Structure 1
């Protein structure tokens, strides 16, 4: 038997339904206008949120492409300029260390621009997240700045005592060190392809160590070669630790996805590292010989100054690309991308600095590139898996909405 309701109840129910529908429509228009302003969200016909994956996906890949170009061009140019400084008469390790961090003022206009943009966005969105404590940020910047000072000094010794091709191939050990630190600090999972990549890079570095005796074509003694070799390995390990700690800081301290936080993480530690280099320059007494070094520079005083300036600028470009990849993906991925410079720098070193590329070094290069491809393929598989999970989640949402 069908249930009947009095006319008053039916009218009251219809009135409530109309009021609810109007409220939902009004709320949908408000949310839609907010979403259109930010460019991230659209709304379907039933008033439920619907992401714009293609637009967001293209923007993300555009940022990744820019960061990769910054990293590769900056790293390659800075490494070659550093070797050029030594080959043409430069001999100050602290000056070579100084220019690796002293170019941070070129990033200040970007910091001012993105900081103001971030403030406007924060005001519009009124986030509930707490800002990091000033004391925590000061400690963080001091720690990272001192860590970079020691790391850059070891890199300077490595670049001074090693051929640039050997130096570049040894820097690929960052991948193995970073994977280890990421496993303990960033919950990075090891897969067969990642393990294969780490083994190949380790074998590549081992071949270079065995090949040490054949590098005597330079004027570097065996003792200095060993010092350069160990300093480069130590610098690679230290920098890998730095990258993992930076990623951890983004997750635990900053807790906000803004490019200004990336710039802050580059500028403030670079300032501390620059101050540390200035102290080292005066404490070691190398500052006394800088005037003589500039006058005796083979390419002239102007070339001496321009070499140092452009070395500083290219290192900052490289660092922004590296930190951007950490921010967007992970520290391990940024380190893998930096190894993409492996086939570029040694070839340029052979052309411009006449480095010898013997069979052992070629084999080390092939193994390093193989390891890079292995790790990139793992990221490709992860991306496919992520897309499959997103598609299945969207299908479930559509079914529930219907």
Structure 2
């Protein structure tokens, strides 16, 4: 491998990396750029974080569906558990407190003022709260297979918003991905799934479809906004900065959702809801608890992939895991996988592969330019010598 993955990411960001200019060029810093064991450690981290994303997303979606199927009715509670598990990230925040990462050493820019930073956390946190509410409405009114397939459109929205906010360039493969993912989602609006009266109602189906589509668009916007915040305001890409962003926006989102829970009056129905839950009180509590844990595992995985690779790759892994929930739903929850859903899933997978192939081509181009640059530097050195 001609260059390290850290150098590859910095090349994509337009930052020239020079290992010799790193402050405190200790043996630990040098070791991080040597082949061998460290390369396998990077792959181990990537596999572990990817597992967290895939497992957390699948389990969280399934448990959310079970909550509504077994008698849960509170959209605010379903939204609350998506963000309220942030305390599990505190140990990771403490661990990263005094750790100097490669990104921190390589990218040294003046940080923003605390007030501006707090405003960023506040705005993104409110946005996340609204987005989670839309996801909850979609999950309440749609079967899991339909819900997860519509969520596949978030990759297309991500590319679209990245074009305007982050200068993302469109290529034939990106455009192909956008078209396929859009068609795969639109097809599902014509499919009214059999099931209970709550989910078979055409009116509620449309509401669930539009809510999920809006939530996917919101999630596709959150990632470019987060990247823009790191580039223009936070001005550093460290593990601690990423953890701070995640925790503080979840704190804000949790506060907003709690206000909504009490303002809507749904808190009064929670006790009765728990008593009438089909699987019992213990199952009700455990469902909410493990749903919160699952979504935090998903969050940790996303954080890890953003830190080790990029936010784009994190979203790609998330989309790649979407078919897992419908498959598990068909196996464990006896959900039906209709022909229209099958076609939609194939189109979504095709769009994902097209997007991944463009990502692969971009990586090859960056590596080729870096190798050419290395050869030219060696030639210049030999000539000067």
Say whether the 8 Å CA contact 2:107–2:237 is kept in structure 1. Answer: no
Q: Which residue of 1 aligns with 2:371?
A: 391
Partner of 1:47: none
Which of these residues, 35, 42, 67, is aligned with residue 85 of structure 1? 67
Shift of 1:148: 0.8
Q: 1:81-230 maps to which residues of 2 (within 5 A)?
A: 81-118=63-100, 129-212=109-192, 215-220=193-198, 221-230=201-210
Corresponding residue to 2:51 among 54, 69, 77: 69
Compute the displacement of 1:192 (Å).
1.0
Are 1:36 and 2:49 matched, yes or no?
no
CA change 1:370–1:307 in 2 (3 A) is: same
More displaced stretch, 350-359 vs 158-167: 350-359
Report the count of equivalent residues.
361
Shift of 1:343: 2.2
Q: Give CA-to-partner distance per residue, 1:148-185, whole Å, 9 cap, x none.
A: 11101111000000000000000001011111000011
**Structure 1 residues 396, 32: closer, same or farther in 2, change over 3 A?**
farther
| Structure-2 change in CA distance of 1:115 and 1:198 (3 Å) | same
What SS is found at the alignment partner of 1:378? helix
Match of 2:258 in 1: 278
**Which structure would you say has the larger RCO, counting Cα contacts within 8 Å and 6 or more residues apart?**
2
CA contact (8 A) 1:118 1:260 kept: no
Q: In structure 1, what is the equivalent of residue 272 of structure 2? A: 292
Correspondent of 2:284 among 282, 304, 319? 304
Cα–Cα, structure 1 residues 382 and 76, in superposed 2: closer, same or farther, change >3 Å?
same
Distance in 2 between the 1:358 and 1:296 partners?
32
Going from structure 1 to structure 2, the CA distance change for 1:200 and 1:30 (only over 3 Å counts) comes to closer
How far does residue 327 in structure 1 lie from its aligned partner after superposition? 4.2
Per the TM alignment, residue 84 of structure 1 is displaced from its structure 2 partner at its CA by: 1.1
Q: Is the 8 A contact 2:54 2:298 kept in 1?
A: yes
Instruction: Specify whether residues 84 and 32 from structure 1 end up closer, same or farther in structure 2 by C-alpha distance, changes over 3 A only.
Output: closer
SS of structure 2 residue aligned to 1:101: coil
SS of the residue 1:342 aligns to? coil
Counterpart residue number, 2:340: 360
Determine if contact 1:95/1:281 at 8 Å carries over to the other structure: yes
Partner deviation per Cα, 1:60-106 (whole Å, 9 max, x = no partner): 44443333222111111100010111111211100000000000000
**TM-score scaled by length of structure 1:** 0.84
Q: Distance in 2 between matches of 1:132 and 1:381?
A: 35
Distance in 1 of aligned mates of 2:116 and 2:46 = 29
Give RMSD over aligned pairs: 2.6
- The DSSP-based 3-state class of the residue aligned with 2:73 is coil
Change (3 A) 1:196 1:53: farther
